């Protein structure tokens, strides 16, 4: 036997073929039958992204999606139609997203937290730092099954308008959470009309153990509903801004709208309004779902971003139409 191995090893190509022939394929489990409980903190996950589908691998074919369709895409309208089934949690992205605070607080009466997904880190491709800056409020909300609605303002993309923190950062966060929590991505990861499954997989595989451990820590909080769904729900909401890089503007705005003395005045006004307007509580309840919030925000001039395989360029390419 050793003689055979030695003779095979004499030619590198033959040796490579011999090693491939001896390689044992791992069994693949379908997405529907796999839950987060099947993946321990020490079990390697399918970070390669290969289990998504042939389309996600860049080789054609249909991708597994959240819905019943086997198409390698879903439209933004289809994702939006599911919004009423999710309770929304709101996250203002620092710093440009601060511009959304008056609309959230004064027009819609919504509570919100802050999150930081840096567009500069996305531009540099440093996705480990992007994920590393996600805080506990955001991660546990995603694990518990909330729709995490992230607000940001952008100015550089004149054609599409969506900030890089959403179309790149939030897209990678979704991919990383789904792979680390459920073992695979739930959709074709797409950036600007291009399948980036291999790139995302490479970046996630390159994360140090500490970064992956941070993400996997929150897996223990997944609810049964989230396990059954096998995916997190992340939605972007955005507008254009004329204050990009204007630190003084954002510093003043966040102080005026979020500092303790401002919040105390807001609570006083809230009490007065609730006393004089018995329907205020009902309005707040109606805005509890992602769908209601998005529709109210769109009425204020915001746009929703569902990303991934709902990317307009990607959908147009798959359908065989020109953008």
Distance CA 215, CA 184 (A): 14
pTM summary value? 0.74
| Strand 194-195 with 190-191, pairing | antiparallel
**Residues whose CB is less than 8 angstroms from the CB of residue 33 and which lie 6 or more positions away in sequence, other chains included:** none
Is the separation of the CB atoms in 31 and 184 below 8 Å?
A: yes
Residue closest to 152 by CA, chosen among 253, 239, 90, 246: 239
Is the separation of the CB atoms in 66 and 301 below 8 Å?
A: no
**Residues whose CB is less than 8 angstroms from the CB of residue 159 and which lie 6 or more positions away in sequence, other chains included:** none
| Strand 233-240 with 303-305, pairing | antiparallel
Tens-binned pLDDT, residue by residue, of the chain (323 aa): 444 444 444 455 554 554 544 443 333 333 444 444 444 444 444 444 444 443 333 333 333 334 445 688 899 999 999 999 999 999 999 989 999 999 998 889 899 999 999 999 999 999 999 999 999 999 999 999 999 999 999 866 556 678 999 999 999 999 999 999 999 999 999 998 999 999 999 999 999 999 999 999 999 999 999 999 999 999 999 998 777 777 788 788 888 888 886 554 555 445 444 445 444 443 344 458 999 999 999 999 999 999 989 998 899 988 876 54
| Strand 233-240 with 147-154, pairing | parallel
What is the spatial order of strands in the sheet that 147-154 belongs to? 113-115, 88-93, 147-154, 233-240, 303-305
Give the C-alpha distances (Å, rounded to integers) separating 160 from 62, 163, 164, 239, 294: 26, 9, 11, 11, 18
Which residue's entry shows tokens 């204007």?
A: 246
Structure token digits, residue 248: 């003084």
Give the C-alpha distances (Å, rounded to integers) separating 30 from 16, 64, 211: 30, 10, 27
Using CB atoms within 10 Å of the CB of residue 52, give its burial: 0 to 12 exposed, 13 to 18 middle, 19+ buried. Answer: buried
pLDDT at 321: 64
289 secondary structure, DSSP code? B
Which residues are 148's β-sheet partners? Answer: 89, 234
Backbone φ and ψ of 263, nearest 5° = -65, -35
Element containing residue 3 per DSSP (H, E):
helix 2-9
| Strand 88-93 with 233-240, pairing | unpaired
Give the Cβ contact number of residue 105 at 10 Å. Answer: 18
């Amino acid at each position: 036997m050793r003689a055979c191995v030695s003779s095979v090893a004499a030619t590198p190509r033959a040796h490579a073929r011999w090693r491939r022939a001896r390689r044992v394929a791992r069994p693949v489990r379908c997405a529907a039958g796999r839950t987060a409980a099947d993946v321990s903190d020490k079990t390697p996950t399918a970070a390669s992204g290969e289990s998504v589908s042939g389309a996600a691998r860049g080789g054609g074919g249909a991708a597994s999606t959240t819905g019943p369709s086997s198409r390698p895409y879903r439209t933004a309208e289809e994702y939006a139609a599911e919004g009423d089934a999710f309770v929304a949690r709101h996250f203002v992205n620092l710093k440009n997203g601060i511009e959304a605070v008056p609309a959230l607080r004064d027009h819609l009466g919504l509570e919100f937290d802050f999150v930081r997904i840096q567009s500069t880190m996305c531009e540099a491709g440093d996705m480990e730092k992007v994920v590393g800056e996600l805080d506990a409020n955001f991660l546990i909300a995603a694990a518990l099954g909330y729709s995490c609605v992230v607000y940001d303002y952008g100015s550089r993309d004149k054609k599409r308008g969506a900030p890089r923190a959403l179309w790149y950062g939030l897209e990678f966060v979704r991919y990383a959470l789904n792979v680390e929590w459920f073992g695979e991505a739930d959709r074709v990861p797409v950036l600007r009309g291009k399948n980036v499954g291999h790139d995302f997989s490479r970046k996630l595989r390159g994360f140090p153990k500490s970064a992956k451990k941070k993400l996997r820590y929150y897996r223990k909080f997944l609810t049964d509903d989230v396990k059954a769904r096998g995916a997190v729900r992340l939605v972007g909401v955005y507008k254009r801004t004329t204050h990009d890089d204007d630190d003084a503007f954002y510093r003043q705005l966040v102080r005026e709208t979020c500092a303790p003395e401002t919040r105390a005045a807001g609570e006083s006004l809230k009490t007065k309004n609730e006393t004089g307007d018995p329907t205020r509580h009902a309005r707040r309840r109606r805005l509890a779902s992602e769908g209601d919030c998005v529709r109210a925000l769109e009425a204020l001039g915001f746009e929703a971003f569902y990303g991934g395989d709902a990317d307009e360029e990607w959908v147009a390419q798959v359908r065989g139409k020109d953008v």
